[in-house]
Amino acid sequence: MLEHVGPQGYASYFAKIRALLADDGIAVIHTIGVQHKAGPVNRWITKYIFPGGYLPSIGQMIRHTETRGLKVLDMEVMRGHYAETLRLWRMRFLDRRAAMRRLYDARFVRMWEFYLVGCEYFFRRQHGMVLQLQLVKDQMAAPMSRHYIRNRENEFKDRLWTLHLSGN
């Protein structure tokens, strides 16, 4: 979501997170960002796909969290993950190109093909990344390692499976 906020809104965005976060709470911010100077997205994408989009840098995000009294407890940079997601979306889109052409004009279909391949390249070969920041007020809010995340994920999957088996 942060790529929709833009730098003019970062102060209020992170202040709101701090206000809503329990003293022992953990906030996870998931965003698309860049590993170089932050800035608006590509002009073509701004015009046709993502008006007002802005890709923050890691440093820019961290500065705003710190000035709002939040601590970065953990950070994960997922470099190639989104490139692979975009590749799969593009393959599915191309597999259904004939159906897309029945729904939309040829220009629209070409624009989306261009968008998907261009974004895949940006995330695979340039500086694009998906980033997750784990923010806290109290640095002792989470265990010392990431193992608790996997444990909670497995607990959640077990609950879902139990609900599925019970028919709920």
Active site residue 106: no
Which among 34, 61, 119, 135 is annotated as catalytic?
Answer: 119
Closest to 26 in 3D by CA, of 152, 131, 135, 132: 135
Cβ 37 vs Cβ 141: under 8 Å: no
Cβ 11 vs Cβ 68: under 8 Å: yes
Cα three-residue angle 69-73-78, rounded to 5 degrees: 120
Length of the chain: 168
Residues tagged active-site: 119
